[in-house]
Every structure is written in structure tokens, then in C-alpha cells.
Amino acid sequence: MTFATKRIGRTSVEVTALGLGCATLGGSMLAVQDADARMMMVDALDTGIRYFDTAPLYGYGRSEHLVGDMLRYRSEAVISTKAGRRLRPRRRAQDLKDQWQQPFPFEPYFDYSYDGIMRSYEDSLQRLGMNRIDILLLHDVDSFTHGQAAQPDVFKKAMDSAYKAMAELRAAGEVRAIGIGVNEAKPIADALAYGQWDCFLLAGRYTLLEQAPLVELFPQVERHGAAVIVGGPFNSGILVGGDTWNYTRAPDKLVARAKAMAEVCTAHKVPLPTAALKFPLAHPVVASVIPGPRTTNELNQILAWWEHPVPAALWSDLKGERLIEAGAPVPG
């Protein structure tokens, strides 16, 4: 398969329109066997996917380890990872409510200091077993992670110290692009005043189900000269027929909305996940969409959705039913 590519901001980095989010390889909610993960990565490369996103948090190093194993000698692959959490050996039992299944025996702690970012970058190189990271993202400086009360202070300290470290790494050629990876739009808007960013990974907030960033955030990001990478295009399950949204049980209102979308898609003989994958990429600021398959079977299903044709009438009907914003760009 041939995927369109798009440049990350004003950098030389280009990513494929379809990438892979590799949180799943860390065992997010469900355990993934190493052999399955490695085979899936090989198949993704063979089909033309060239962008892969990971983080120290995912499986407490396990995702980075697996990603590095399969991409170490593939110079054509673009890799992003994250900084802001460091890992230390686990000396107590894993919390039974921990989302990571069969992770590495480490535990994360936040460190947005200058030295912490530098150390996180070096640690990621070691876990990946690589001498390069293309895109470095500041991870989870949002209220979703830190709570409404603590987030402003965490964010301010991160902008004052973490940004300096990341900008130095970019200036030195250690990384090719820097950005922020979050689950909320507001930290991205707030970060624009602190320096020049190249991209923002926004998970779950610009999807077929949600388009709030259209009005203010995306025009600001476009003027800034940065790109957006859309994570969580299925809103953690609800747009593939599940009942979860934002990593928890979906509210009835959103379930009804997703059902109405599915009915419109069915009328046009288009799977709902196809529309969910294609919709975000129509916006000029969006460079890539990165679902997270666990196995080759799941990857193949995503590729089948990706290749399914979508008539223009589907988008006009979704707008006519007021299921997506009237002003949202749609695929041509």
C-alpha cells in the first residue's frame, strides 16, 4: 500500500497519513504477546506504514523495547516517544487496578525538570536500542492526568524547564521535532506562547465524535506553523462499536450519537470505523492518524477499513443530520 505523507510543521520530518500508536504494545488493558507485537510491526512496515509513536509509560518501558527491536535497522521509519515520566525499579506489588498488563518491572514518576527531560531522552534511547529519536513529545501536562487543581503549576514548571531541554535537543540535532502529547486541547493552546513547537499529539479530541478544536485551537496551531497528530481516532472504542469513551464507559448521549452515525454510514455501505479513520485527516493541520492495533489481525482490519471507499454523500448526510460540525473539513 502507498500512504500519503505530510511534513511535521516546518521540519524535514514526514509521517505517513496512517501511523501506529504503540500504547497497546505495552499491554494497555489487554496483554499482548511479544511475538504478536513483533509480527504486527513487521506487517505494518511491509504495508507501507512509516510512523510509530511510543512512550516510556506504555508498559513501563515494554512498548519502547518492542518498537526498538523491530525498527532499529529500518531507517525509513519515523519514531516519536515522550518525556516527562521516568522509570524506576518496582519494589512493591503492582496495583491491581493498573491498566498495564504484563508490563516491565518498573514504575513511573513525573519529572518535567530540565535534567529529567535530558535523562528521559537518554533512557528512551537505551530502551529503544537506537541512536535516534525523530520526534520528542512532552507527555501528559494536562488536567486529565494531574487534576484541575495541580495542573496549572505542573504545566508552568514544565514550560519553564522541560521546553528548554527539548529545544536544546532539537537545536543540537539530537531530535528532529518537538511537541506535546496530551488528551486535552487547552494545554496545547496554552503552550503556544512558550516557544516554537513542531507538532502536537492530541488523543481523542478531534474525531468523528468530537470537533471542539476546530474553532480556536486548530487555527492557532496552523498560524504557529505546527502539525497535529490525531491519537485515539476511535475514541477508545465507541467508534468501532464498543461502549467505551475516553478510557471509561461512554455516556448514554455519546452512545446514541455514535449509533446515529453508524446508521448513516450503514446507509452508504461504509463501516463506521472507516469514517472515523478518514475524517480527521481532511483538516489541513492534521498530519497523521494513529490507531493502536495489538495484533496482525487487528492491523489487517484497520487496513481494510482504511481502503474502503467513502462516497462524498456520506459526509454531507452526517452534516445534514448535525452529527459532525458544519464547518468541519471532510475528505474530497
Catalytic residues: 53, 58, 82
- Alpha helix positions (H), the chain: 34-46, 62-71, 114-128, 143-146, 151-157, 163-171, 186-191, 217-224, 252-267, 272-278, 296-307, 312-320
Spatial distance between the Cα atoms of 244 and 237, rounded to a whole number of angstroms: 5
Instruction: Let me know: does 83 contact 162? Beta carbons within 8 Å.
Output: yes
Closest to 181 (Cα-Cα) out of 25, 66, 54, 68: 54
What does DSSP say about strands 51-53 and 20-21: parallel, antiparallel, or unpaired? parallel
Region at 112 (left for phi over 0; alpha for psi -120 to 50; beta for the rest): alpha
Closest to 323 (Cα-Cα) out of 206, 208, 203: 208
Four-residue CA torsion sign, 147, 150, 151, 152: positive
Reading the block at residue 115, the C-alpha cell is 535534567
Lookup result for grid cell 448526510: 317
User: What single string gives the DSSP state of each residue in 46-85?
Assistant: HTT--EEE--TTTTTTHHHHHHHHHHTT-TT-EEEEEESE
- Amino acid in position 18: L
Reading the block at residue 311, the C-alpha cell is 462516497
